[in-house]
Structure 1
Amino acid sequence: MYLQDWIQRWLIAALTGLLIIAGCGAGFLWNDEHRVQEEESRHVINRVRLQVSGIMRYLERYGQKVANTAEVQEAIKSMAKEQGLNLLYTGLDGRVMFNTAPGDGIQQLDLRTDLHYDLYHAKRDQNYYRIAFPVVDEATQVQVGHAVFTLQARDVLGPRTNVILYSLLAVMAFILMVLCLLLFLLRKKLRRDIIQPACQLKDYSEAILKGNYEQGTAYHRMDEMGEVHIMFEQMRLEIQHLSRRRDEQDQAQKELISNISHELKTPLATLKAYIEAIREGVCPDMDSVMEYAEVMHNNTEKMSRLTEDLLLHALRELGQISVTLKERYSKKLLQSILQPIAHYVSTTGVQFIGPEEIPDVLIHVDGHRLEQVIANLIANALKHTSPGDTIRVNTELARGQLTITIADTGRGILPQDMPFVFDRYFKGKADTDSEAEGSGLGLSICKYIIEAHRGTISFNSVQGQGTTFYCSIPL
């Protein structure tokens, strides 16, 4: 069930419950008031008896003379007027013998229905009561008639206010209104702070699902939903960043394939041309053949490096670059790696300076992968040096690590390129008019291999003065 529907049903149920409680309370108050009125009526009868006691004593003394004696009638009228009531006096048969209100025209009463001895049955309307009392002769103690008094309600009950009842009803109505107001405020707050923000998140999620990562959230209150929106916004920005990185990588991979295809095409064309020249007998002597063979060898080395970088990149993407660590002594291992590299660097016209002394310590290392790292860093240095420059390799022990330093005196790295040196496909902006060589994978692969050795790789560079790389491997 949706939260909005649940809140609507819950609100209806709560209002129904409040109305039932209010109805029950009003019923209890009305019942209590009715009970109080009945209890009061028993006490008020005594007050009525006191009010008419003088007339009743007079009737008990002169009741048999009322019908025929004018003096008795005048006395009774005077007393009735003084008490503010009307008297209707009947015999035992119900025949009216005297009436202080002659305009009524009543001659006979039905003794079964017209005589009432309690307030509940004596009430005629909202303002008058008709109450009957038996008249007993004072001398014989025998009932001689009935005295029916008509009194105003205010004289019977006295001034009476329902302050308590009205106050309780007012309090109950006020509490009911407050509770209803609170319920509606709660409903409004739930809609504003929970339902609407949740619907906004739903819309934003649909936008992200459709690939629209630019639409941000617009919730600005700092509460629980605000924290959810903040986390959602961070997630959106992260997805947007990852999407851009993915697009950039896809584009870089396409460019990589295009560049490698182009860079492989050139040495292949050169190899084909020199091979055809040798086959056609263009070379007049062995020196020319060896010169051609050297050119073919250089182009073969270039293609080999390109295919090796591409293979390592593919293996890294698949998580299958195998780094098998074994205990090796550093001196013998590094000598076997640096000796052929030094010879190759010397043939390029760049001066190579090896380490004066290699520490002979035990390290966990994959010799083949470490050779790839050192060869790649030196090959990278050769791209940025010219004949007459120097490449220096040094080794030292510090803080439980063997650090291999490869420094050159070449052109250095541009400052704007430094943050991205170890990123895949990054080739840097060449500071010359010639296009930068390479696939942009070498340093990324070096970083991966060194970190697989639980080591670190870093560099510093000054434009125009050279670059130094530091590879540290734990002992």
Structure 2
Amino acid sequence: MSLRSWTNKSLTITLLLLAGLLGGSLYLLSYSLSGNKEAPPQSVIHQVRLAINPLMLYLEQHHDNIGTTEVQTELNRLATQHEIGLAYVQLDGTVTFSSAALSPIAQDNVNRFLRYDMYSGQQSSGLFQIAFPVIDKNSQSQVGNAVYFLPEAKVFPAQSNYRPVLSFVIIALIVLCLALLLIFMKRTIQFHLISPILQLRLHAEAILKGNYEQQPTYASLNEMGELYSMFDQMRTEIMYLSMQRIQQEKAQKELITNISHEIKTPITTIKAYIDSILEGVCSDTDTMLEYIEIMRTHTDKMARLVEDLLLQTLQDLGQITVEPREQYSRDILYKILKPIGHYVRTNELNYIEPEEIPNVLINMDANRIEQVISNLVSNSLKHTSPGDSIRIDVHLEAGMLKVIIADTGSGIRPQDMPFIFERYFRRNPGSDAHRGTGLGLSICKTIIEAHGGTISFTSKHGEGTTFNFTLPLC
């Protein structure tokens, strides 16, 4: 069950229990305020009539003989049997009978007994009194008054305590359920909310300290479980970014070292040839032109290194500018490939130029495409030996202009293939012969994708590599 569902159900149960508690409390309050001691008038009179009925029946039948010992004895027996006091008063106010349980009644106090309702007040003896007229059966006329003195139990029937006790038991059970529910909620919140949050805090502190190995775990598949899952995903992402940052910093340091090494070598070579020229070692024009050609080669190499470094910086900033414009492909690619062929041949490799360049209209930034082709050819030169060949071909394929650069060099190792286009990646980094910045292919990919094309390669270790990229037609 999710924490939200559990919380909603617990809250609903708590509100229902509180409503029951409030209802029971209101019932007990109303019951206590009413006192529930005074029964309705009809109920009281009915109870009194039932209590005095034997006495009243006997009195109506024998009122003529009220003064005889036999009648008075029977009236005393009935009064004692039914726990009722009785006084018989003539119409002239004479008290002709008073039950044995009653105190003697003075003749001047007779009128105060002639009350025909139950609400005249309780007597000092704790008895309630009520007068009933005695009717003669033959003449159907009143012959006297019977004044009855009844204890409270006879007037007000005993009240049952069932409902108040039941209400109290229900309220007690509700309070007990609320207490158990609150204890359960406290334990649940502690176990499923507070403790997991404290654990997450410890994991967050570990991440802040650079410890990314502690993996947070949570068993339940609820909201907290989802939070733990997202936190662990964040931890993994931060760990990956941290490792990537460390690798990038290491690669940048290696880049600076490599570029320093790469630039130092041509600078040293150029300086040596300049010193030779100044010292007059070159005795003829041919030798001097040869020296100048060597210096130009090394100058071009330094220029490419500086350009790669600049492009890498722009790539980090997301500011590599590609400004394609519509132009025909044949003349532009011919101008780009012609000096490259000469450069390949000067490195003692066979250069196979394209048989024909399609003349189609494409959107192309000529300077950037020249950088791509130069980088790909330079990459081939690093992994070829004298006598190998580099072939460049251009043709149309599936509505795209496709440029192919293939060599018969050492090829790419299978374990290196997934990382070829990543920045700072260098094949055989321990070999001076293959030393490079690791930026060229990454820059090529960025430029080609900015043109809306794709770049890919195929290679077999020891047999050569083929790079190809496409440019969309207008």
Tell me the TM-score normalised to structure 1 length: 0.79
The CA deviation at 1:338 is: 1.2
What CA distance in whole angstroms lies between the structure 2 residues aligned with 1:236 and 1:300? 48
Gap regions ≥5 residues in structure 2: none
Alpha carbons of 1:447 and 1:148: their partners in 2 closer, same or farther (altered >3 Å)? Answer: same
**Structure 1 17/211 Cα, relative in aligned 2: closer, same or farther at 3 Å?**
farther
**Greater Cα offset, 352-361 or 15-24:** 15-24
User: Given the superposition, is the C-alpha separation of residues 123 and 368 from structure 1 closer, same or farther in structure 2, using an over 3 Å criterion?
Assistant: farther
Aligned partner letter, 1:251: K
Contact 1:458 1:469 in 2 (8 A): yes
Higher relative contact order (CA 8 A, sep 6+): 2
- Structure 2 counterpart of 1:271: 270
Listed one character per residue, the Cα deviations across residues 95-134 of structure 1 (whole Å, up to 9, x for unaligned) are 9964445xx8x45698879999539966999xxx844233
Q: Could you report, residue by residue, the CA deviation over 1:42-96 in whole angstroms, capped at 9, with x for unpaired residues?
A: 3243243233223234446767987x75433421233235x44243548799999
* Distance in 2 of aligned mates of 1:284 and 1:124: 157
* 1:30-429 matches, cutoff 5 A: 34=36, 38-39=39-40, 42-59=42-59, 70-81=69-80, 83-87=81-85, 89=87, 98-101=98-101, 106-107=103-104, 118=118, 130-134=127-131, 141=142, 143=144, 146-150=147-151, 157=157, 161=160, 201=200, 204-205=203-204, 207-208=206-207, 211-429=210-428
Query: Relative to structure 2, which stretch is displaced further, 50-59 or 453-462?
Result: 50-59
Partners of 2:392 and 2:230 in 1: how far apart? 48
**1:383 Cα deviation after fit:** 0.6
- 1:84/1:151 contact within 8 Å kept: no
Pairing 1:441-460 to 2, within 5 Å after superposition: 441-460=439-458
Tell whether the 8 Å contact from 2:258 to 2:435 is kept in structure 1 after alignment. Answer: no
2:100 & 2:156 partners in 1: Cα distance? Answer: 19
Partner amino acid, structure 1, of 2:443:
I
**Deviation at residue 330 of structure 1 after TM alignment:** 1.4
In the alignment of these two chains, the number of paired residues is: 454
Task: Give the Cα–Cα distance (whole angstroms) in 1 for the partners of residues 133 and 431 of structure 2.
Answer: 143
- Which residue of 2 is the match for residue 471 of structure 1? 469
Residue 258 of structure 2 aligns to which amino acid in structure 1? N
**Deviation readout 1:203-254 (Å, 9 max, x if unpaired):** 5555545555444432332233433433333233223222221222122112
What stretches of structure 1 of length at least 5 have no aligned partner? none
Identity of aligned residues (%): 42
Q: 1:240, 1:94 → 2: CA distance?
A: 115
Alpha-carbon shift at residue 467 of structure 1 (Å): 0.6
More deviation in 251-260 or 51-60?
A: 51-60
Q: For the structure 1 residues 272 and 123, does the alpha-carbon distance in structure 2 shift closer, same or farther, using more than 3 Å as the test? A: farther
Deviates more, 1:131-140 or 1:328-337: 131-140
Deviations 1:142-190 (A, max 9, x none): 656633244855x9738x7565666566566656765776676667656
Whole-Å separation in 2 of the counterparts to 1:62 and 1:331:
150
Verify the 8 A CA contact 1:385 1:408 in the aligned structure 2: yes
| Distance change >3 Å, CA 98–CA 337, structure 1 → 2 | same
The AA in structure 1 aligned to 2:353 is G
Conserved 8 A contact 1:61-1:138: no
Q: 2: CA distance between counterparts of 1:343 and 1:337?
A: 11
Superposition deviation, residue 461 in structure 1: 1.0
Contact 1:96 1:107 in 2 (8 A): no
Q: TM-score, normalised by structure 2?
A: 0.79
Rounded to whole Å, the distance in 2 between the matches of 1:230 and 1:145 is 93
**Contact residue 352 and residue 390 of structure 2 kept, 8 A:** yes
| CA RMSD between the two structures | 4.2
CA contact (8 A) 1:417 1:429 kept: no
Amino acid at match of 1:27: L
How far the C-alpha of 1:359 sits from its partner, in A, is: 1.2
